[in-house]
């Protein structure tokens, strides 16, 4: 059994915060690999399924970020897991947006979710660090992480979550370097494809009072595609 933990804060008001990219990652994995519906377990929301040859429990702690370790600790003790079988997806200020790095153990780098997990289970679990970039000043960090991704972030966020989900079986099987390389390659290919795409031709909007009576469709929010994908 492997435990994949996505870090974030519960509630619709936090759903698209940068701090919640860990939740987004495990949501993408669940959707891509056909995991069953989330249910309440271990002070969180959990879904169990298979990634490759491994049985995996996905977990989104609902204890708020600073108390994530309470939820993770319950799951670890219930399944008697080794820390090498615990993989935590979290936002990383010290990586540029769209970059992913995997490491086992190490410091918490001021991340309150990691600090709480380390306090409850120890330090030698695996981290999947998802870059969200740094606002440039320490004083701006809280505002940065607790605010939503902006519309332009969709250009890298959606393909990144898709790449993480697609490569997740390799991560479950302990091939951390392969997982990291697959995600990096997917993002490189996405960037090349984006460079080759022609600029979209602006569409003329239909007048609401046109002869056929058809009203223009309402504008979709910046994360409409993600909301449909995640079922929220």
**190 pLDDT band (50/70/90 cuts)?**
confident
Asked if 105 and 123 touch (Cβ cutoff 8 Å), the reply is yes
HSE, CB side, 13 Å, CA atoms: give it for residue 118: 16
**Strand order of the sheet with strand 126-131?**
39-41, 44-51, 54-61, 2-6, 86-92, 126-131, 100-104
pLDDT digits (tens, 9 = 90+) for 54-64: 999 999 999 99
Distance, in Å, from the CA atom of 63 to the CA atom of 203, rounded to the nearest integer, reads 45
Mean pLDDT, the chain, as a whole number? 88
Contact 58, 98 (CB under 8 A): no
In angstroms, the Cα distances linking 68 to 6, 27, 112 are 10, 17, 9
Buried b (16+ CB within 10 A) or exposed e, 55-88: ebbbbbbbbbbebbbbbbbbbbeebebebebbbb
Q: Looking at the annotation, which residues are catalytic?
A: 19
Rounded distance, CA 72 to CA 68, Å?
6
* Sign of the torsion formed by the C-alpha atoms of 163, 102, 177 and 47: negative
Which tokens belong to 201? Answer: 């031709």
User: What is this structure's pTM?
Assistant: 0.85
**Mean pLDDT on 97-120:** 93
Closest CA to 26 of 230, 190, 231, 232: 230
- Considering 6-20, 97-111, 194-208, the range whose residues carry the highest mean pLDDT is 6-20
Which pLDDT does position 109 carry in this prediction?
A: 80
Which tens digits make up the pLDDT trace of 110-129? 899 999 999 999 999 999 99
pLDDT confidence band for 193 (50 / 70 / 90): confident
- 197-231 pLDDT, tens per residue? 666 566 555 544 444 444 444 444 444 556 554 44
């Amino acid at each position: 059994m492997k435990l994949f933990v996505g870090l974030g804060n519960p509630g619709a008001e936090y759903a698209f915060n940068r701090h919640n990219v860990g939740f987004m990652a495990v949501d993408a994995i669940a959707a891509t690999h056909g995991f069953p519906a989330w249910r309440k377990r271990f002070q969180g929301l959990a879904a169990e399924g298979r990634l490759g040859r491994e049985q995996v429990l996905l977990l989104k702690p609902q204890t708020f970020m600073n108390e994530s370790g309470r939820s993770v600790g319950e799951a670890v003790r219930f399944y008697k897991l080794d820390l090498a079988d615990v993989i935590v997806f979290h936002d990383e200020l010290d990586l540029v947006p769209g970059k992913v790095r995997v490491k086992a153990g190490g410091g918490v780098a001021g991340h309150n979710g990691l600090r709480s997990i380390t306090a409850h289970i120890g330090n030698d679990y695996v981290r999947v660090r998802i870059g969200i970039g740094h606002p440039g000043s320490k004083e701006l960090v809280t505002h940065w992480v607790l605010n939503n991704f902006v519309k332009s972030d969709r250009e890298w966020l959606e393909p990144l979550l898709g790449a993480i989900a697609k490569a997740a079986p390799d991560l479950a099987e302990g091939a951390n370097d392969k997982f990291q390389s697959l995600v990096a390659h997917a993002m490189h290919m996405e960037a090349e494809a984006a460079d080759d795409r022609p600029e979209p031709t602006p569409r003329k909007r239909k007048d609401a009072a046109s002869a056929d009576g058809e009203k223009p469709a309402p504008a979709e929010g910046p994360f409409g595609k993600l909301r449909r994908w995640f079922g929220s």
